[in-house]
Structure 1
């Protein structure tokens, strides 16, 4: 989870990350995304999480993760927690995705 700045507003915040994952890296990548989201589900303010694996269509992104947060405060709190947890585990998400040959598009969203 990055520390991208989002303007303070009320209501839910969605973190949507889209990935282009090579076939050979897909099982390990999806397992890692599930592990991360299992941790996020325990954090206050996390409403729901999904790891989506493309089964059809022509889009270039074949794995998508979605996390719904209750507020921006919950996002900020979780970002610090995840950063610390990754450091304790020695997990570098940037290196992991780069080594797997994964490209991503990540951002925060609100209901339009």
Structure 2
């Protein structure tokens, strides 16, 4: 008779920040440049496990942009938010004003594994 030991269940502490944007075609170049700049910054932050920028062409000519960042845990997500806000303040960048100027619609959310 053999005994099989199950691996202990370890809680998954990862958090996923998923942001969805509807970007007018005329604003795509400016929006994409900013998103990729942020993407490069986020990749360097501690606790960033995965960072994706995805696009989907819409029938009306607009583009849906989705960003997905997997963070190791809640602490690294909060630290990253603080770092990003400090960077924006130093640059004088206001994300909401930027999106309003371009006519971008946004939805932000933080998710856990189900």
TM-score by length of structure 2 reads: 0.83
Q: 1:99 aligns with which of 73, 79, 101?
A: 101
Alpha-carbon spacing, 1:62–1:34, altered in 2? closer, same or farther (3 Å) = same
User: What is the distance in 2 between the residues matched to 1:61 and 1:13?
Assistant: 26
Q: Which runs of 4+ in 1 moved over 6 A?
A: none
Unaligned runs of 5+ in 1: 1-8
Tell me what 1:66 maps to: 68
Tell me what 1:6 maps to: none
More strand by share: 2
Residues 47-92 of structure 1, C-alpha deviations (whole Å, 9 max, x = no match): 111111104689x871111111000000110111111000001111
Q: 1:80 aligns with which of 82, 87, 93?
A: 82
1:30 counterpart = 2:32: yes
Tell me what 2:45 maps to: 43
1:15-26 superposed matches below 5 A: 15-26=17-28
Tell me what 2:91 maps to: 89
Larger radius of gyration: 2
Q: CA deviation at 1:16?
A: 0.4
Number of residue pairs the alignment of both structures matches: 103
User: What is the distance in 2 between the residues matched to 1:67 and 1:41?
Assistant: 9
Secondary structure, in 3 states, of the residue corresponding to 1:54? strand
TM-score by length of structure 1 reads: 0.84
